[in-house]
Structure 1
């Protein structure tokens, strides 16, 4: 079972190895820099080698790089589009250097351009990337507030269809739930997984951000809760963790640090739920 957390790289990207081992994870996700600013990954050769060697020694993987929060692939604004493409290019290059197979990105917001134009913008922006061999960009599902795209499975499918790149998907359970896809019962999980398969295709699902939600289904509110302790709840989480169609998909936690519980508690909770 591949389950891990989004861990810090403070002090060097290779420190993610020890941080992941400490929380009991065997796969995981990182930012290559602060996600709140435009900044290059700037990963040195020595720390990249230490990261690769550490991952192999500890048998960790797959890893995912999460792109900057500032990236907006759907934007109609040329300057922001250029910055977003440049940032993504640096992330996929960093992924290749670190032997990380995935770079995860939110589609962003169309900011008034309209859904179709936003999806076209996202696909064409992704098409400008020179993605190294062995690296795949994952388009992440969104909570769907405002003009943000990716809340509907149809948005994800449209970008995969319109782009010439070989793209796949990261499904965030809290985001999908907030966007209106119920996951709070065994029956609901079955229906949502079947809908995802019908619209996007399970063959494109390469990562799951396994997060519970502090808010109800369909509220478009993105606030994560501990596994089994939010509105998705234990039954939903247990069904996801044990679903035969999701069995080989890596689970990455972005759960909160509160109530005396952190990543280690949530990783162990997922393992307890696995039958």
Structure 2
């Protein structure tokens, strides 16, 4: 079954994310547990959490992903930021457990002078500090790779997996991968990129795909999302991703913009149109 959905809001209660997902005709999705621009604890009412779990089950919506705060930086060499990042991630995995959510997604962050190897070591050791509930998995998301940010190369993802004791999996963001230099604008490029991901990281650990087109060219390291099939990746690339035999069963979560009269609902429908039986 094609699993495709969007990032939805928890305004008014986390259970409202399910209602919003149904409005988009999505059957999986992603949320923030709080505003991602600030250090803030998830504020989840137990009754709303029960409603979220029950409504998701009743409508066969899943898997869900919690996206961590944008402030989290696992690679940082700064002790105070590292401590805040670990604390924030612990609260996210606990919130996921409360909500029956399978995944918590996080970017590696930036090494800010520690160097690539130092940053990767920092990320792995930060992950080791987490006490992750049995039914929750941390996903490391691929990055666009600007500045000292890590995660733009598949080798970064594999290195963290090798160095941490935590059982982690991965989220591949198509716009980020494209911005980082993986040309997925056509079938050949998609096939080559999927093969490389499998060789370096392993497709068995690919748990989610952020299916976003890109407003900027391949290799620019610019992270700005476009509607499915209407950016620089384009329809041919998106079609190849959606129908690749090794990706067909991976859930697609949209983080596409709301502009030009098109919203998440339009993009969910576009994915369904591009899917071939």
Q: TM-score, normalised by structure 2?
A: 0.99
What is the match of residue 14 of structure 1?
15
CA distance in 2, matches of 1:42, 1:123: 28
What is the match of residue 47 of structure 1?
48
- The alpha carbon displacement at 1:27 in A equals 0.2
What is the match of residue 218 of structure 1?
219
Structure 1 residues 34-73: aligned runs within 5 Å? 34-73=35-74
Structure 1 residues 128-143: aligned runs within 5 Å? 128-143=129-144
CA distance in 1, matches of 2:45, 2:90: 17
- The alpha carbon displacement at 1:42 in A equals 1.7
What is the match of residue 4 of structure 1?
5
- The alpha carbon displacement at 1:58 in A equals 1.1
- The alpha carbon displacement at 1:57 in A equals 1.1
Equivalent position SS for 1:184: coil
Structure 1 residues 1-275: aligned runs within 5 Å? 1-275=2-276
Q: Deviations over 1:92-144 (max 9, x none)?
A: 00000100000000000000110000000000000000000110000000000
Superposition CA RMSD, Å: 0.4
In the alignment, structure 1 segments of 5+ residues that lack a partner are: none
Say how many residue pairs are matched: 275
CA distance in 2, matches of 1:102, 1:195: 24
Q: TM-score, normalised by structure 1?
A: 1.00
Shift >2 Å, 4+ stretches: none
Q: Deviations over 1:161-192 (max 9, x none)?
A: 10000000000000000000010010000000
Equivalent position SS for 2:6: strand
CA distance in 1, matches of 2:99, 2:155: 32
CA distance in 2, matches of 1:50, 1:145: 40
CA distance in 1, matches of 2:137, 2:162: 15
In the alignment, structure 2 segments of 5+ residues that lack a partner are: none
Q: Deviations over 1:184-203 (max 9, x none)?
A: 01000000000000000001
- The alpha carbon displacement at 1:39 in A equals 0.3
CA distance in 2, matches of 1:127, 1:152: 22
- The alpha carbon displacement at 1:148 in A equals 0.2
CA distance in 2, matches of 1:44, 1:75: 32
